[in-house]
Amino acid sequence: MTPDNNHEEIRKLLVENQRLLVENNQLLHKMRRAALLGSLFKIIWLIIVFGLPVYLYMNYIAPNMDTIKENYSALGDISKDTGYFKQLYENLRPSEQN
């Protein structure tokens, strides 16, 4: 091999190496972008999965539960008043038999 031939071969190898470095850099950028987007979508998905039930509870279920608790409490108050109705019934019962 002559020195000119050797230099030409080294030059070709350097050009090929540069082309491979550029291609590798492009692939690495694509992989980083894909990883970043994947992480971003995962975070968004987790916010939806954990945030949506909390949002629905706070806006739809909690107000209804307050209403149910109030009705249940009122029902308990009514059951306490049954003693009055029972006494009223007992007082009216003998008068019906006359």
On average, the pLDDT of the chain sits at 86
What integer is the mean pLDDT of 54-69? 87
Per-residue pLDDT tens digits for 36-45: 999 999 999 9
State how far the Cα of 20 lies from the Cα of 47, in Å rounded to an integer: 40
| Nearest Cα to Cα of residue 17 among 25, 28, 6 | 25
- pLDDT for 15 equals 97
Phi, then psi, of 81 in degrees rounded to 5: -80, -5
What integer is the mean pLDDT of 82-93? 71
pLDDT tier at 16 (50, 70, 90 boundaries)? Answer: very high
Number of domains in the chain: 1
Which structural domain, as residue segments, surrounds residue 26?
3-97
Per-residue pLDDT for 95 more than 60?
A: no
Q: Which residue reads 């009122």 in tokens?
A: 74
State how far the Cα of 47 lies from the Cα of 41, in Å rounded to an integer: 10
What integer is the mean pLDDT of 69-92? 72
pLDDT tier at 94 (50, 70, 90 boundaries)? Answer: low
Per-residue pLDDT for 74 more than 70?
A: yes
State how far the Cα of 33 lies from the Cα of 93, in Å rounded to an integer: 86
State how far the Cα of 78 lies from the Cα of 76, in Å rounded to an integer: 5
